[in-house]
Amino acid sequence: MATKQKMVIQGGRPLEGDVRVSGGKNASVALIPATLLSDAPCVIENLPDIEDVRALVDILRSLGAVVDYDPGVEMRVDPRPVNSFTVPYQKAQKLRASYYLMGALLGRCGHADVAYPGGCHIGLRPIDQHLKGFRALGCRVEDRAGMVNIEAGQLVGNVVNFDMATVGGTINVMLAAAKAEGQTMLINAAKEPHIVDLANFLNSMGATIRGAGTDIIRITGRPRLHGTVYQVIPDQIETGTLMIAAAATHGDVTVHDCIPTHMESLTAKLLEMGIMVTDGGDSIRVRSTGPHRSVKVTTQAYPGFPTDLQQPMCSLLTTTQGTSRVEETIFESRFRHVDELRRMGAKIDMFSDRVAMITGVPELYGAPVTVTDLRAGAALLVAGLMARGETEIYEPGYIDRGYEHIEEKLRSLGADIRRETCEE
């Protein structure tokens, strides 16, 4: 008998208490490939124990690296035995960020043969800007049957002018440019916290990267980088998801070991809704003390409202007074959670593929729902926590890609949530 997993939530209970946020997924999936640029072992602390991290461990080992991984403690990568530059499809397709192996392998040995996972549920997600950057550094790039074959006799620094602020493009080209000959300038670079974290990580290995966090990043390539011991930054999106869940359940939660300045766009929106948010330096307290006002949300590149929080934010907006407008400007199909929220009683009209109008209802009610992508899973978690009655969330594996031990964290805040195995 085939089985599958589901999460079961008895909703309607306010989340209360203290919770610690884990290390950042989107920073971790950049730092781990970056260890290949070193000529000595690197240690990374505070990595989240999530599927994407485990998939990268498997890929690094398949390339020949020696990886000692103690989940929740540290990861030690010795890249010296690496003897391959090929990442086949069955390994690369386990996580989208496997394409960072292109920049890392180019920086390490001037050659990369990496399968590209292609589009996903939230959009086409092309990598033309990544490849444009590699070509600018002197690479020959061939895209054959889903395998991207990249060769550089010698990587040579250059100016790369991105057509849009791309997180992945900025990270991938930074990885290669760190070992290129001479200066590289990234113009219209993305400014997300995980880009700053990668620059800090590479600089701790002896790289020379200036301007990360602004839209112009200057990189002076180095022939060799050394080992380091480094702690990955807290997860901005998990912090935001926990903040939203606290507000949505009319609770009172303090999220610890986070970086409040990374959360400013969400904090501003919650305050606009009449929700109390207090900055505690390395913690944020969210308290809901009454009805929530409807608002307008438009996703933007950092420091704007993060697209990764758009989906859980939709859940919070389903029970405000009035009608909220949510516009997704980054990805072309990031509203697959809307159908599932409607099953729970939400009143959402899609004005276009990118604009949702959400009219507040008194409450959501529990229902069986299915996860279609990672942050849609976050949206359904929030909705299940706030709904009256029982919600069953199918395909919870998507959630495990980006949230470490999420049931334990929510249970510690008073949620009635468990995971069950059921028949297919």
Among all residues, which ones are annotated catalytic?
Answer: 120
Q: Is 402 in the site for ligand EPZ (CB under 6 A)?
A: yes
Other Cβ atoms less than 10 A from the Cβ of 332: the count is 14
Size of the site for ligand EPZ (CB under 6 A): 25
Among the listed ranges 127-135, 220-228, 251-259, 263-271, the one in contact with ligand EPZ (CB under 6 A) is 127-135
Q: Which of 194, 287, 268 is nearest to 234 (CA)?
A: 194
167 contributes a contact to ligand EPZ by CB under 6 A: yes
User: 370 in helix, strand or coil?
Assistant: strand
Residue of this chain nearest to ligand EPZ (CB atom):
168
Shortest distance in whole angstroms from residue 144 CB to ligand EPZ: 18
308 binds ligand EPZ (CB under 6 A): yes
135 touches ligand EPZ (CB under 6 A): no
Name the residue nearer to ligand EPZ (CB basis): 79 or 402. 402
Strand order in the sheet with 208-210: 159-161, 183-187, 216-220, 208-210
- Which of the 8 DSSP states describes residue 255? E
Name the 3-class secondary structure at 120.
Answer: strand
- Whether a cis peptide bond, with omega within 30° of 0, leads into 303 is yes
Report which of 143, 139, 144, 126 is spatially closest to residue 179, judged by C-alpha positions: 139
By CB under 6 A, name the one of 254, 307, 315, 370 that touches ligand EPZ: 307
Interacting span for ligand EPZ (CB under 6 A) from 69-77, 124-132, 216-224, 241-249: 124-132
Among residues 330, 376, 379, 380, which is the contact residue for ligand EPZ, using CB under 6 A? 330
Nearer to ligand EPZ, 160 or 383 (CB): 160
How many other CB atoms are found less than 10 A from the CB of residue 343? 17
Site for ligand EPZ in 349-378 (CB under 6 A): 374-375
Which residues have a Cβ under 8 Å from the Cβ of 13 and sit 6 or more positions away? 249, 385, 414, 415, 416
Cα three-residue angle 412-371-356, rounded to 5 degrees: 100
300 or 359: CB nearest ligand EPZ = 300
Residue of the chain from 14, 118, 123, 304 that contacts ligand EPZ (CB under 6 A):
123
Structure tokens at 202: 């590479």
CB of 307 to ligand EPZ, least distance (A): 5
Residue 218 near residue 211 (C-beta atoms within 8 A): yes
Instruction: Single out the residue of 111, 125, 218, 342 in contact with ligand EPZ (rule: CB under 6 A).
Output: 125
- Contact between 126 and ligand EPZ by CB under 6 A: the answer reads yes
> What's the chain's length in residues?
424
What are the residues facing 150 on neighbouring strands? Answer: 112, 141
| Identity of the residue numbered 296 | K
Minimum Å gap between C-beta 335 and ligand EPZ is 14
- Near ligand EPZ by CB under 6 A: residue from 91, 94, 108, 130: 130
| C-beta of residue 373 within 8 angstroms of C-beta of residue 366 | no
| Least distance between ligand EPZ and beta carbon 27 (Å) | 8
Task: Candidates 62-70, 128-136, 268-276, 320-328: pick the segment binding ligand EPZ (CB under 6 A).
Answer: 128-136
Q: How far is the CB of 96 from ligand EPZ (least distance, A)?
A: 6
- Taking CB under 6 A as the rule, does residue 128 contact ligand EPZ? yes
The nearest distance, CB 114 to ligand EPZ, in angstroms, is 14
Which of 230, 331, 335, 398 binds ligand EPZ (CB under 6 A)? It is 331
CA pair distance 354, 40, nearest whole angstrom: 46
Considering only CA atoms, which of 64, 154, 47 is closest in space to residue 101?
Answer: 64
75-104: contacts with ligand EPZ (CB under 6 A): 97
